[in-house]
Amino acid sequence: MAAACWRLVRGAPRAFCRVLLQNFSQQRSLTTGRGLVPRPRPLPFLLVTGGGYLGYQLYWKKDYSDDEAPPHLASPTQVAFYRSFPTRLLSRAWGRLNGVNLPTWLRKPVFSLYIWTFGVNMQEAAVEDLHQYRNLGEFFRRRLKPAVRPVCASSCLISPADGKILHFGRVKNSEVEQVKGVTYSLENFLGPQLKHAKYSSSSSFQEHLLSSPDSDLFHVVVYLAPGDYHCFHSPTDWKVELRRHFPGSLMSVNPGVARWVKELFCLNERVALTGQWKHGFFSLTAVGATNVGSIRVYFDQELQTNSPRYNKGSFHDRRYVAEGDQVTTTAGEGAVVLVDGGGVTLQKGDAVGEFNLGSTIVLLFEAPKDFTFNLQPGQRIRVGEGIGGL
């Protein structure tokens, strides 16, 4: 058994392997005051972490491919085949595995392997002692020390998450770029809007979102890797009026896959928060991915993502702003629920929600035409750093 464990983690540093083997040998027979404790079986956990490491290596190679090369898009048949994989079922199984408490002796070896594989900076964590994290889920959702993510006061818009900037810029012709050269439909991504447009019926979906003809629509895409901090925060002062949940696929949102699958963000499960900020329309969308079927929004306890039963193409709304005294039903089979009638007010930097692993945040917002970004494609960014202003 010791030799098998060694082969599974032979790519890890020797120091980690020695710790793992020592822990394994020390735990072959454990006793307590109440009698013999069943012998721990670390092999399943090693298989899971080893498989995750191999998957990461595959995606790492795709992630760092030549960004200047023209994208080679998957055919509809390839996309359909990919979507046929039981990623939703696997993600729910992964979620249950994340909630299984590890024996105290196994926590440090397992979490150390994860830290080494994905480059986690534990010096920023509010709790640095690995033995304090009972399971993988708690480790993924670890909190940070209060001072390590200062909010930029000089920028009207800050990063909502730690991650990598995949793309940013103006929205053109109601199409948004998920990565360079690969677009998706703005209407498919956000779904039909309930507000009456100030433009004619011949105007585009993009124009329907704008409150002024002197404004433009902008977007930012932030990719959260597995080793990143997994909570997301409010990027500005704004009011959330609607939560829209789109059940869907759970394909990987790794940049390499985003360059291969057109409209990936429209196919995947996602939660869109839409409302208003000082310049008009504003939205923050949390896009799910493989093993990230669970998206939590702190102020909405009714939200349940990655449900076993769902209808493709449907969505479910919860409205936080009352429109008269009536509760209406929108397209997409979702009943609108009125909450207080005043919306949910968020301040810049407020914690909004969390993923169970890594995923993607998409910001879409209205701003004056002279709004400028302080970003570079592919750069690393952290919560609270400025991303643009006037």
Contact (Cβ atoms closer than 8 angstroms) between residue 141 and residue 354: yes
Contact (Cβ atoms closer than 8 angstroms) between residue 249 and residue 206: no
Q: Which of 167, 208, 230, 233 is catalytic?
A: 233
CA distance 86 to 251: 10
In this structure, what DSSP letter does residue 214 have? Answer: T
Alpha helix locations (H) across 35-103? 43-63, 76-83, 87-98
Q: Which of 112, 159, 294, 359 is catalytic?
A: 359
Q: Give me the count of residues in the chain.
A: 390
Q: How far is CA 317 from CA 29, 149, 234, 306, 330, in A?
A: 54, 32, 20, 16, 8
According to DSSP, the residues that pair with 93 across neighbouring strands are none
Query: Strand 280-287 vs strand 215-223: parallel, antiparallel, or unpaired?
Result: unpaired
Residue 72 is a catalytic residue: no
Residue 359 is a catalytic residue: yes
Both tokens assigned to 305 = 């993502």
Residue 185 is a catalytic residue: no
% helix, strand, coil for the chain, step of 5:
30, 25, 45
CA distance 293 to 110: 22
SS3 275: strand
According to DSSP, the residues that pair with 281 across neighbouring strands are 276
Q: Which of 63, 162, 300, 317 is catalytic?
A: 162
CA distance 233 to 225: 16
CA distance 217 to 186: 11
CA distance 113 to 119: 10
SS3 16: helix
Catalytic machinery residues = 162, 233, 359
